[in-house]
Amino acid sequence: MTVLREFWHKKHLYLFLIPTFTLLIIFSYYPPLFAIYNSFFQWNGFSARVFIGITNYVQLFQDARFVGSIGNLLILLGWSLAIGLSVPLIVAELIFNLKSSKASYFYRLMFILPMVVPGLVGTFLWRFILDPNVGLLNLILEAIGGPEWRQPWLGGTRTALISFMIMGFPWVGGTSVLIYLAGLQGISNEVIDAASIDGAVGMTRFLRIDLPLVMGQVKLMLILGVIGGLQAFTSQLVLTNGGPGYATMMPGLVMYQEAFQYNRIGYANAIGVITFLVILFFTFLNMKYVRSSAEYY
Amino acid sequence: MAKQSLKYRIQKMDIGINIILFILVLLTFYPFMAMLFMSLKDNPQFIHARWVPTLPLHFENYAYAWKAVGQFVLNSIFVSSVSAIGGVFFAALSAYVFARFQFPGKTVLYMLIISLMMIPGVLTLVPQFLLVRDLKLLDTYWVLILPYLAGAQPFGIMLLRTFFEGLPHELFESARLDGANELSVMRNIAIPLSMPIIGTLMIMNVTGTWNDVLWPSVTISNVKLKTIVFGLWSFQSQYYSSWGPLNAAYTISAIPLIIMFAFTSRLFVQGLTSGALKV
Answer yes or no: do A35 and B124 touch at CB < 8 A. yes
The answer to whether residue B143 sits within a structural domain is yes
CB A56 within 8 A of CB A236: no
Interface of A with B in 163-222 (CB under 8 A): 169-170, 172, 175, 178-179, 181-183, 185-186, 216-217, 219-220
B275 or A23: whose pLDDT is higher? A23
Optimal mutation site among B112, B126, B182, B241, interface A, most CBs of chain A within 10 A: B126
A140 touches chain B (CB under 8 A): no
Domain membership flag for residue B188: yes
Q: Which amino acid is at A62?
A: Q
**At B87, is the secondary structure helix, strand, or coil?**
helix
pLDDT of residue A252: 94
**Structural domain boundaries enclosing B136:** 71-221
Asked if A142 is an interface residue toward chain B (Cβ–Cβ < 8 A), one would say no
The answer to whether the CB atoms of A114 and B29 lie below 8 A apart is yes
Average pLDDT over residues A222-231: 88
Burial string for A96-116 (b: 16+ CB within 10 Å, else e) reads bbbeeeebbbbbbbbbbbbbb
Question: Is the Cβ of B27 closer than 8 Å to some Cβ of chain A?
Answer: yes
> With 80 as the cut, is the pLDDT of residue A168 above it?
yes
Q: Which amino acid is at A89?
A: L
Q: Residue B128 in contact with residue B219, Cβ under 8 Å?
A: no
How far, CA to CA in Å, does A21 sit from each of B15, B90, B161? 54, 10, 16
On the CB side of A175, how many CA atoms lie within 13 Å of its CA? 13
Say yes or no to pLDDT of B30 above 50: yes
What does the pLDDT read at residue B273? Answer: 57
Does B43 touch chain A if contact means CB atoms closer than 8 Å?
no
Does the pLDDT of residue A297 top 50, yes or no? Answer: no
Whether B271 and chain A come into contact, CB under 8 Å, resolves to no
Tell me which residue in A7, A112, A118 faces B253 most closely, judged by beta carbons. Answer: A118
Cβ of residue B94 closer than 8 Å to a chain A Cβ: yes
3-state helix, strand, coil in chain B (%, to 5): 80, 0, 20
User: For residue B249, which of B96, B93, B107, B71 has the smallest C-alpha distance?
Assistant: B71
Taking the C-alpha atoms of residue A245 and residue A243, their distance in angstroms, rounded to an integer, is 5
**Alpha-carbon span B95 to B19, nearest angstrom:** 44
Mean pLDDT for the stretch of residues B234-243: 77
Handedness of CA B122, B126, B129, B135 (dihedral sign): negative
Size of interface A-B (CB pairs under 8 A): 259
Sequence-ordered list of residues with C-beta below 8 angstroms from that of B189, at least 6 positions apart, any chain: B167, B171, B172, B175
Higher pLDDT: A26 or B239? It is A26
CATH number for position B189? 1.10.3720.10
Query: Quick check: helix, strand or coil at residue A297?
Result: coil
Please indicate, yes or no, if residue B242 is contained in any of the structural domains: no
Split at pLDDT 50, 70, 90, the class of B3 is low
A11-16: average pLDDT? 87
B181 touches chain A (CB under 8 A): no
DSSP string, A94-151: HHHT-S-HHHHHHHHHHHHGGGGS-HHHHHHHHHHHH-TTT-HHHHHHHHHH-GGG--
Q: Which of B119, B138, B155 is nearest to B218 (CA)?
A: B138
Read off the pLDDT of each residue in A30-40 and give the average, rounded to a whole number. 95
Average pLDDT of the residues of chain A: 88
Question: Which position has the higher pLDDT, A91 or A289?
Answer: A91
Contact by Cβ (8 Å): A249, A269: no
CA distance B210 to B15: 38
Answer whether residue A69 shows pLDDT above 60.
yes
Confidence label for B276 from pLDDT (cuts 50, 70 and 90): very low
B278 vs A169: which has the higher pLDDT: A169
Task: Give me the amino acid identity at A17.
Answer: L
Per-residue confidence (pLDDT) for residue B190, from 0 to 100: 85
Measuring CA to CA, which residue among B279, B117, B271 is closest to residue A217? B279
**CB within 8 A of A10, min separation 6: which ones?**
B101, B103, B104
Smallest CA–CA distance from B249 into chain A, residue: A121
pLDDT mean across residues, chain B? 87
Q: Whose CA is closest to A40, among A54, A58, A59, A22?
A: A54
Query: What is the sign of the dihedral through the CA atoms of B142, B145, B149 and B152?
Result: positive
A157 shares contact with chain B (CB less than 8 Å)? no
Contact A121 B123 (CB under 8 A): no
Interface contact A8, partner B, CB < 8 A: no
Tell me, yes or no, whether B83 lies in a domain. yes
pLDDT at B252 over 90: yes
Pair A189, A215: CB distance under 8 Å? no
Instruction: Evaluate whether A255 touches A272 at the Cβ level (below 8 Å).
Output: yes
pLDDT at A22: 96
Could you give the angle at the alpha carbon of A22 between the alpha carbons of A27 and B149, nearest 5°? 55
Find the closest chain B residue to A118 by CA distance: B211
Domain count, chain B: 1
Burial class (CB in 10 A: 0-12, 13-18, 19+), B189: middle
Tell me, what's the pLDDT at B277?
Answer: 47
Dihedral through CA B30, CA B32, CA B38, CA B39, nearest 10? -160
Residue A15 contacts by C-beta under 8 Å, 6 or more apart in sequence? none
Greatest mean pLDDT among A162-171, B168-177, B260-269: A162-171
CB-nearest partner of B91 from A20, A95, A268: A20
Give helix then strand counts, H and E, for chain A.
Answer: 17, 2
Tens digit of pLDDT for each residue in B5-29? 666 666 667 888 899 999 999 999 9
Nearest one of A125, A171, A127 to B35, comparing CA atoms = A125
Q: Does B218 touch chain A (CB under 8 A)?
A: yes
Query: Hey, of B122, B148, B267, which one would you mutate to test binding to chain A, going by the most A CBs within 10 A of its CB?
Result: B122
Q: Report H helices in B55-194.
A: 60-100, 106-114, 121-134, 146-151, 153-166, 169-177, 182-185, 191-193
Query: Higher model confidence: residue B182 or residue B247?
Result: B247
Q: Do residues A272 and A46 touch, judged by C-beta distance below 8 A?
A: no
pLDDT at residue B153, rounded to an integer: 95
Domain boundaries, chain A: 1-33, 39-290
Nearest to A234 among B103, B129, B214 (CB): B214
DSSP state letter for A154: G
Give yes or no for B77 touching A (CB within 8 A).
Answer: no
ipTM reported for the complex, 2 dp:
0.86
The CA distance from B207 to B200, in Å, is 11
Cβ within 8 Å, pair B128-A114 = no
Cβ pair A97:B13 closer than 8 A: yes
Percent of chain A whose pLDDT exceeds 70? 97
Measured between alpha carbons, how far is B213 from B225 in angstroms, rounded to an integer? 13
Q: Say yes or no: A242 contacts chain B, CB-CB below 8 A.
A: no
Q: Is residue B131 part of a domain?
A: yes
In a domain, B195, yes or no: yes
Q: Which residues of A touch B254 (CB under 8 A)?
A: 116-118, 121
- The shortest C-alpha distance from A157 to chain B (Å) reads 22
- On whether the CB atoms of residues B86 and B145 are closer than 8 A, the answer is yes
Tens-digit pLDDT profile for residues A90-147: 999 999 988 888 888 899 989 988 888 999 999 999 998 999 988 899 999 999 988 8
CATH 3.10.129.10 for domain A39-290: no
